[in-house]
Chains A and B, each alone.
Chain A
Amino acid sequence: MSNDRPGKVRMMQGNQACAEGAIAAGCRFFAGYPITPSSEIAENLSVMLPRLGGKFIQMEDEMAAMGAIIGAALTGQKSMTATSGPGFSLKQENIGYAGMAEVPCVIVNVMRGGPSTGMPTLPAQMDVQQARWGAHGDRGVIALTAKSAQETYEQTIRAFNLAEKFMTPVILLIDEITGHTTEKVIIPDASDIEIVHRKKPDEDPENYLPYRLTDECVPILAPFGTGYRYNVTGLCHNETGFPTNDSHDIQCLIERLTRKIEMYEDDIIRNNELMLEDAEIGVFAYGSVARTAQAVVRMCREEGIKVGLLEPKVLWPFPAKAVFAMAQKVRAIVVPELNLGQMAREVSLASECRVPVHKLGRVDGRPIPPQQLVEKIREVV
Chain B
Amino acid sequence: MFDYLQYVRQENFPHIWCSGCGDGIVLKALIRSMDKLGLSQDETVMVSGIGCSSRTPGYVDINTLHTTHGRALAFATGVKIANPDLNVIVVTGDGDATAIGGNHFIHAARRNIDLTVLLYNNYIYGMTGGQCSPTTPRGAYASTAQHGNLEPPFNISGLAIAAGASFVARGDVYNVKKLETLIGKALQKKGFSLVEVVSPCPTAFGRRNRMARPVKMMEQLRDTVVSVEKWEKMTDEERKGKFRTGILKDIEKPEFTAEYAKLIEKMRPEE
Using a CB–CB cutoff of 8 Å, the interface residues on chain A facing chain B are 28-29, 31, 50-51, 53, 55, 57, 59-61, 63-77, 79, 93-94, 97, 223-235, 242-243
The answer on a CB contact under 8 Å between A227 and B42 is yes
**Across-interface contacts of A227 in B (CB, < 8 A):** 42
The answer on a CB contact under 8 Å between B267 and A235 is no
The answer on a CB contact under 8 Å between B107 and A64 is yes
Main secondary structure of the interface of A (DSSP, over half): mixed
**Across-interface contacts of B260 in A (CB, < 8 A):** 50, 55
The answer on a CB contact under 8 Å between A64 and B104 is yes
The answer on a CB contact under 8 Å between B83 and A51 is no
**Across-interface contacts of B45 in A (CB, < 8 A):** 224-225
A72-B82, A224-B83 given; 9 more Cβ-contact pairs under 8 Å:
A28-B82, A31-B77, A60-B104, A63-B71, A64-B103, A67-B68, A68-B74, A94-B68, A224-B45
B196 CB to nearest A CB, Å: 21
B86: nearest chain-A partner, CB-CB: A225
**Across-interface contacts of A31 in B (CB, < 8 A):** 77-78
**Across-interface contacts of A231 in B (CB, < 8 A):** 57-58, 64-66
The answer on a CB contact under 8 Å between B58 and A243 is yes
The answer on a CB contact under 8 Å between A97 and B42 is no
Using a CB–CB cutoff of 8 Å, the interface residues on chain B facing chain A are 9, 12, 41-43, 45, 47, 57-58, 61-68, 70-71, 73-83, 85-86, 103-104, 107, 260, 263-264, 267-269
A235 CA / B54 CA spacing, docked (Å): 12
The answer on a CB contact under 8 Å between A72 and B81 is yes
A313 CB to nearest B CB, Å: 29
A55 CA / B66 CA spacing, docked (Å): 23
A124 CB to nearest B CB, Å: 28
A61 CA / B71 CA spacing, docked (Å): 11
A232 CA / B66 CA spacing, docked (Å): 6
B139 CB to nearest A CB, Å: 33
**Across-interface contacts of A70 in B (CB, < 8 A):** 67, 75, 78
The answer on a CB contact under 8 Å between A74 and B12 is no
**Across-interface contacts of A242 in B (CB, < 8 A):** 9, 12, 58
The 6 closest A-B pairs by CB, nearest first: A71-B78, A67-B74, A68-B78, A72-B82, A64-B74, A71-B75
Q: List 7 A-B contacts (CB under 8 A).
A: A67-B74, A70-B75, A74-B79, A75-B79, A226-B42, A229-B41, A231-B65
The answer on a CB contact under 8 Å between A229 and B75 is no
A59 CA / B82 CA spacing, docked (Å): 14
Given A71-B47, A74-B65: A63 touches B78 (CB 8 Å cut-off): no
B78 CB to nearest A CB, Å: 3
B68 contacts which of A51, A79, A97 (Cβ < 8 Å)? A97
Given A50-B264, A227-B42, A243-B58: A72 touches B79 (CB 8 Å cut-off): yes
Q: Most A CB atoms within 10 A — which of B12, B79, B80?
A: B79
B204 CB to nearest A CB, Å: 20
The answer on a CB contact under 8 Å between B71 and A69 is no
The answer on a CB contact under 8 Å between B66 and A235 is yes
A79 CA / B75 CA spacing, docked (Å): 12
B57 CB to nearest A CB, Å: 7
The answer on a CB contact under 8 Å between A64 and B64 is no
A243: nearest chain-B partner, CB-CB: B58
B153 CB to nearest A CB, Å: 23
The answer on a CB contact under 8 Å between A55 and B107 is no
**Across-interface contacts of B47 in A (CB, < 8 A):** 71
**Across-interface contacts of B82 in A (CB, < 8 A):** 28-29, 55, 71-73, 75-77, 79
**Across-interface contacts of A229 in B (CB, < 8 A):** 41-42, 61-64
A226 CA / B45 CA spacing, docked (Å): 11
The answer on a CB contact under 8 Å between A63 and B74 is yes
Given A51-B267, A53-B264: A68 touches B86 (CB 8 Å cut-off): no
A29 CA / B264 CA spacing, docked (Å): 13
B57: nearest chain-A partner, CB-CB: A231
B201 CB to nearest A CB, Å: 21
A242 CA / B13 CA spacing, docked (Å): 12
**Across-interface contacts of B107 in A (CB, < 8 A):** 59-60, 64
**Across-interface contacts of A29 in B (CB, < 8 A):** 78, 81-82
B79 contacts which of A97, A224, A234, A235 (Cβ < 8 Å)? A224
A64: nearest chain-B partner, CB-CB: B74
**Across-interface contacts of A65 in B (CB, < 8 A):** 74
A58 CA / B41 CA spacing, docked (Å): 30
**Across-interface contacts of B73 in A (CB, < 8 A):** 64
Given A29-B81, A71-B47, A224-B45: A59 touches B74 (CB 8 Å cut-off): yes
A206 CB to nearest B CB, Å: 12
A216 CB to nearest B CB, Å: 24
**Across-interface contacts of B264 in A (CB, < 8 A):** 50, 53
A69 CB to nearest B CB, Å: 6
Given A53-B264, A234-B66: A79 touches B12 (CB 8 Å cut-off): no
A71 contacts which of B66, B70, B74 (Cβ < 8 Å)? B74
The answer on a CB contact under 8 Å between A225 and B43 is yes
